[in-house]
Amino acid sequence: MDLHDFDDVAENYDLYLEEMYKDVDNHAGFLDFYLDFAKEYGKDGVIDIACGTGAVLLYLAKHGIFADGTDLSEAMCRVAKEKANKEGFNLKIFPANMTDFRSNKKYSCAIIARSGFMHLLNPELQRAALLNIRENLVDGGMLTFNTFDPNPIFQAEQMESKDTDYEFRLEYTNKEGKREKIYNAISYDPHTQIMSGNWKFETLDANGAVIEERIRPLKMRQTYRQEMLYLLEMTGYEIVNVYGGYNKESADRPAKNVIWCVRKK
């Protein structure tokens, strides 16, 4: 199974994501942050990059902003397109890598929501994506994306843990109406700054016995703020705002979720 095989999880993604983010404080204001951003900067078009199953795309469309969407995973694009069609929105959603996609137009606003940028696993890919997105923006166009501030305490713990040290994350009901338990095990490599996670899905029968098990690896790269500042400078962006959360909290202190808002120079 490929590391970034979101194809495999596409059909159930919305169902378990809803459960996962139910009680996550730093997620408050998630959708409205992107709606405000698109309203403020999207007069010449919005693109949602790594759009997944279209959480942001659909929210924007329901508020009158018809953004294009793109994602590496064909299955995520298909699910997003089906959801949009069902709601009566004819959106352009196409599979592509953020490092080299092209559209038939340039945009004044680009969004990478919910840690899509962290799926780029080395500085070369990060640079390629930022340069490519810049090519897809009009002059002065805006990009927003998020990163997690690396936390040395978690890093130290994760450096000690193996990719089989599973912890229970949540239980949800899958698309076929079956209960599934999700566990994950995350380890951290300080040399590459990559968090390697294994996500284990257990499907249960009516008595709670495990009838199927799937393990899906997922890697994300942590990026230090100082690295990001150099990367943005090198790829032709200026910083407009950096927030410590979706409600525009200050980013003066280390933040779990750092929201970058940058302009094409």
Residues that bind ligand SAM (CB under 6 A): 4, 6, 50-52, 55-56, 71-73, 76, 97-99, 113-116, 119
Residue whose entry in the numeric block shows the structure tokens 């407009």 = 240
Residue 55 or 262: the one with the smaller Cβ distance to ligand SAM is 55
**Where are the extended beta strands (E) located within 64-205?**
68-71, 93-95, 107-112, 137-147, 167-173, 179-189, 194-204
- Cβ proximity to ligand SAM: between 127 and 204 the closer is 127
Could you give phi then psi for residue 38, rounded to 5 degrees? -65, -35
Closer by beta carbon to ligand SAM, 102 or else 265 = 102
- Rank residues 34 and 188 by Cβ distance to ligand SAM and give the closer one: 34
User: Cβ closer to ligand SAM: 97 or 161?
Assistant: 97
Cβ at position 255, least distance to ligand SAM in Å: 18
Strands (E), 115-225: 137-147, 167-173, 179-189, 194-204, 210-221
Residue 222 phi, psi (nearest 5): -85, 140
Cβ 199 to ligand SAM shortest distance, Å: 12
CB of 160 to ligand SAM, least distance (A): 26
CB of 153 to ligand SAM, least distance (A): 24
**Least separation, in Å, of the C-beta of 171 and ligand SAM?**
20
Q: What are phi and psi for residue 219, nearest 5 degrees? A: -115, 145
DSSP 8-state secondary structure symbol assigned to residue 111: E
